Structure 1
Amino acid sequence: MNTDRLESLSELTAKNCFEKLDLDSAGLGSEYSYPNLPLCIIDTVFSIGVSYASTRNTVDRFCRFLGAESTSESFSISSFLSLYHTYSPQRMAAEVFGNKQRTSTVNGILKAEAVMMFSEAVRAKDVEYLKDSSFLLNNEEFENV
């Protein structure tokens, strides 16, 4: 397909979207507006290779377990990791997340353990809160951890 044809197809698609979709009332889902970094990490890890409904249920179970603190902007990575002092990754999977999924079907670790490891890597970069997490974006050193 030539470039001119692609451009006119793109323009036609955009025109149809503006004419037929109610873009003024479009919004992002709740998964795009978590109040704190631990919930973002839980969502990120538990969404690997599964339907999003499963991920949402896992996040909801965690929030019910923790209560009001889970929806606070001030819920830090260190506060989240302190749960792992009481609960092993196996207990976090079973009792807190209610989800024993693994990162892979072959030699994968529990996603609950992957969440802990991801959170530890974030804390090692002195990032505790969502508002500070932009430091991690496009950070090659962090991505290679």
Structure 2
Amino acid sequence: MEIKEDMIFDKKRSRMYHDIKSITLFVPSTLPSNTSGIEKPIGTFKYSDLVKVFRANPENAIWFNAENDAQHKNLADAFELWLFNSYITKVSNAGDSRLDDIYGGAQQGILAAAQTSADLIEYEYNLWSF
């Protein structure tokens, strides 16, 4: 799954917001029926449309909390609260390229993703330093 979002800093509230724009589902490259060995996109969905579906189907759109059975949440709430684990695959650039394409390989792409994540954390931290 790939999530596209905008990071927005609200000057009035001094807060960083993550505005999810879309979610793309992929067929995993490791799936036995995927003979090409390449991730293939199944579909891209506008996040606001998915929220409506999640809210309309609360019995099926459940994020399971493995640590606490009393804290299962709706998938819309789980995305809003960032209860998922992810890594950065692409940042805005002129060529619309992924990090592994820019840096020349999967291993360098992973290192670039970690560095980009650290840079974003430092950027947000510096917003608070006066």
TM-score in terms of structure 2 length: 0.28
Which of the two has greater strand per residue?
2
Relative contact order higher in (CA < 8 Å, ≥ 6 apart): 1
Q: Report the structure number with the largest CA radius of gyration.
A: 1
TM-score in terms of structure 1 length: 0.26
Which of the two has greater helix per residue?
1
